[in-house]
Amino acid sequence: MIDLCDSDEDSVEVMKEEKGASRNGDKENNSPDEVEVIPPKEPTRADLAAAAAKRRAQYEAHIASFGGGAGGTGSGGYVRGGQIVSGAPGAIGGGVNPLLNPPGAYIPPPGQSRHDMNIGTDETAECLDVTGGWYSARACLDTGNGGGTLVTKNLAVKLGLVDGFGRPVGPGPVRWQVVRGVVAGASERVPIVSGLTYRIKGKEMCVDAGVTNAELGDCDLLIARAEIMQFESDGYTFTAGRASRW
C-alpha cells in the first residue's frame, strides 16, 4: 500500500519536525549531571588524639637520634665541657635543662666536692711553663687589686715567660704598665707577659700579667679582683681570710 502525500511541501515540513524533535532529545540526553558538594568533615576527638600521638612519636624519635631519651642507642649522653652529660642536648626531658645549664657553662672536674669550690685569699696554684709542665706556686687572691694580676720575676723566669733580665720572650713589642701599692708609697713600671696560664682547684685561667721585681710577701702570684669574680661566676665561693694587701 502506498501513502500519497498531498504535496512535496507537506513532506518537507514533516521531515523538519522529525529532525527538530531528534535534536531536542539529544540535548536533553547530553545535559550534564548536577554535582553534589559535600562539606568537609569536622575532626573528631579521636582524630585529634591520633595526630597528637603521631607528633609525639616524631619528637621522641628526634630526641633518640641524639643518643638520649627512650629508645636511644649508645651511652645516652653527649660530651660537654670534657664530661659526659646524660640526655640529649637542650632537651628538658633528657635530663638537661637549657635554662639551668646553658651551653658553655663551666662544669667542675669529676669528683670535685662542694668543699673544693671554696677558695680563700691564699691558695696553691699550678702554673704552666713553656715546656708544657705544671709548676706549683703560691697564689694570693686580692680583692683590693683592681689593676691586674702580678707575677714575681723569679716565677716568670722559671716558667720561661721572661729572660734573666725580666724582659718578656718572644717577638713583638713589649707592653708596659705602671702599678702602685706593691710597696707603700711607691710605683713600678712593669712589663706585661701574655698567656700566663694557672689553675686553682680545677679551674684554669689564661691571663696577661705584669712581671714585678717587688716582693709579694709570701706569694708568687697576686691575682686581681676581676679574676676572682670569674671564679665566683663559675660557682666558687670566695672567703677573704685577711685584709687586702693592694
Cα dihedral 183→184→188→194 (10° resolution): 60
Q: What is the pLDDT of residues 164-219, one digit of tens each?
A: 989 999 888 999 999 886 566 678 899 999 999 999 999 999 999 999 998 888 89
Whether the predicted model's global pTM rises above the 0.75 cut: no
Same domain flag for 96 and 131 = no
**Cβ proximity of 151 and 221 under 8 Å:** yes
Residue 78 — pLDDT band, cuts 50, 70, 90? very low
Is 39 within a domain? no
What residues make up the domain containing 91?
Answer: 75-103
Same domain flag for 205 and 134 = yes
Is 178 within a domain? yes
Q: What whole-number distance in Å separates Cα of residue 107 and Cα of residue 34?
A: 73
Cell of residue 156, nine digits: 716568670
Residue 58 — pLDDT band, cuts 50, 70, 90? confident
Same domain flag for 81 and 145 = no
Q: Taking 90 as the threshold, does the pLDDT of residue 84 lie above it? A: no
Is 159 within a domain? yes
Per-residue pLDDT, 30: 55
**Cβ proximity of 150 and 110 under 8 Å:** no
Same domain flag for 86 and 161 = no
Per-residue pLDDT, 101: 57
- Percentage above 70 pLDDT, the chain: 57
> How many domains are contained in the chain?
2
Q: Can you give the CATH number for the domain in which 223 is found?
A: 2.40.70.10
Q: What whole-number distance in Å separates Cα of residue 66 and Cα of residue 147?
A: 46
Is 88 within a domain? yes
Q: Which residue has the higher pLDDT, 42 or 5?
A: 42
- Percentage above 90 pLDDT, the chain: 37
Q: Taking 60 as the threshold, does the pLDDT of residue 138 lie above it? A: yes
For residues 46-75, average pLDDT = 66
Is 19 within a domain? no
Q: Sign (positive/negative) of CA torsion 178, 180, 185, 189?
A: negative
Cell of residue 106, nine digits: 663551666
Q: What is the pLDDT of residues 145-157, one digit of tens each?
A: 888 999 999 999 9
Q: What whole-number distance in Å separates Cα of residue 6 and Cα of residue 44?
A: 76
Same domain flag for 147 and 207 = yes
Q: What whole-number distance in Å separates Cα of residue 120 and Cα of residue 143?
A: 11
Per-residue pLDDT, 99: 56
Same domain flag for 94 and 148 = no
Same domain flag for 90 and 199 = no
Same domain flag for 208 and 152 = yes
Is 27 within a domain? no
Q: Sign (positive/negative) of CA torsion 219, 224, 227, 233?
A: positive
